[in-house]
Amino acid sequence: MTIEIKPLTINLIPDYLDFFDYRAFSDGSPCGPCYCAAPSMDDAAEAQMVSEFGDDIKSTLRRYAINLLIAGKIHGYLAFDGEHAVGWCNAGDRDGYLRWIPDIARELSFGKTVSVLCFAIAPEYRGQGLSLALLDRIVADATAQGYAAVEGYPRIQKDREPYDFNGPLHLFEKAGFVEKARLDELVVMSKDLRATQPKPLIKQHPNG
């Protein structure tokens, strides 16, 4: 298996939709149907969407997601095995999210930050390191783009919950994240990128 991680672009919208249409929740997971649009919506937009659910929730979710995708408001990375997307992570500039960022995280100042909000992995690919591969790529790109940190928001749970889409705590620990804050079961995990970024060259004046 050769996995390739690609940032979401307008050209990958068909692959994104195909993943959520057919693979993300093919095991009947209670997380589906979902198109990971909610983090990019405000309360009023989500309320309007819910009011339109009717008997076909999936089609309504899909329609709203398409509009957000075309507008460039959904951000993240797709994991591909060959031609098919088999994994997804919703991640982007923290300031670009209207919701889903814990208040305790916004109160912490680490500089320009990428937030990691959600993972979805096709059932047959779970437990094979795709989430870590996605997270590593996010960190690499955030570093190259000059971000100060990458954050995730896992929850401490005795048993793995079916709605544990934030990613488990041990995933972030394995990727080198450290705990920055905790509120009840919510943990803010952060990876400081400033030490890994190249320092600018300082030119010495000829006369010292």
pLDDT tens for each residue of the chain, 208 residues long: 799 999 999 999 999 999 999 999 999 988 899 999 999 999 999 999 999 999 899 999 999 999 999 999 999 999 999 999 999 999 999 999 988 999 999 888 779 999 999 999 999 999 999 999 999 999 999 999 999 999 999 998 776 655 579 999 999 999 999 999 999 999 999 999 997 655 554 444 445 4
87 bridge partner residues: 79, 121
Q: What is the pLDDT of residue 171?
A: 96
The residue ranges of every structural domain in the chain are 3-196
Q: What is the pLDDT of residue 157?
A: 77
Return all residues near 132 (Cβ < 8 A) that are at least 6 apart. 171, 174, 175
- Dist CA 92 CA 74 (whole Å): 8
Q: What is the pLDDT of residue 196?
A: 67
Q: What is the pLDDT of residue 138?
A: 98
Fold of 3-196: Aminopeptidase (3.40.630)
Q: What is the pTM of this model?
A: 0.90
Q: What is the pLDDT of residue 199?
A: 52
Residue 204 φ/ψ, nearest 5 degrees = -85, 135
